[in-house]
Amino acid sequence: MTDLEKHALRFATKAHEGQVRKYTGEPYINHPMAVAAIVATVEHTPEMIAAAYLHDVVEDCGVTLAEVKKRFGGEVATLVAYLSDISTPYHGNREARKALDRQHIALAPTDAKTIKLADLIDNTKTIAALDPNFWKVYRGEKRRLLEVLTDGDPALWAQAAAQCG
């Protein structure tokens, strides 16, 4: 593990301290760690692993992109920016918000799309197994999202698509 990756893991662990996963109650940091582990199975850079650890800190922890850039550099901050939802409740209902967020990630570089695929893979495992009612909604959203992630890592794209069954 590079120094950048170690620093990102420490920072994300502290930022997510006290947060738990919705369905399992496990420490939230387990999710970014799982995403980073999935990214590590394909061609990647230290910046991608760092961004995988940090992918939820802007949305969920009140960390700013400026702080991410200052601590981890412009490349990591750019990846985190693309991985962070841009919609707010003011953008309308869930469908409208997801469409906006999908347009945002569609513009992302390949490395960000690869991390997003890893995020989807890890989230799907939990949702499909533990919330069958929400899975019906999430599955449709994920299928639409996969349409804009086709230039992410092909093996992860195939894995994510296979989860939609």
The single-letter DSSP state of residue 92 is -
3-class DSSP state of 110: helix
Radius of gyration of the chain from its Cα atoms, rounded to whole angstroms: 15
3-class DSSP state of 106: helix
Query: Quick one: pLDDT at residue 122?
Result: 97
C-alpha distances in Å from residue 10, one per residue of 81, 82, 113, 158:
19, 21, 24, 31
Catalytic residue among 43, 60, 95, 151: 60
Is residue 85 part of the annotated active site? The answer reads: no
**Contact at 8 Å (CB) between 22 and 130?**
no
Catalytic residue among 26, 59, 95, 151: 59
Angle (CA) 123 36 9, round 5°: 115
- The partner residues of 20 in beta bridges, in order of sequence, read 27
Domain membership of residue 151 as a residue range: 3-163
Give the pTM. Answer: 0.96
Angle (CA) 149 155 157, round 5°: 25
In order along its 165 residues, the chain shows pLDDT tens digits of 999 999 999 999 999 999 999 889 999 999 999 999 999 999 999 999 999 999 999 999 999 999 999 999 999 999 999 999 999 899 999 999 999 999 999 999 999 999 999 999 999 999 999 999 999 999 999 999 999 999 999 999 999 999 997
Is residue 26 part of the annotated active site? The answer reads: no
* CATH number of the domain encompassing residue 106: 1.10.3210.10
Residues in Cβ contact with 143 at an 8 Å cutoff, skipping those fewer than 6 apart: 164
State the total domains in the chain: 1
Q: Which two tokens stand for residue 11?
A: 């920072």
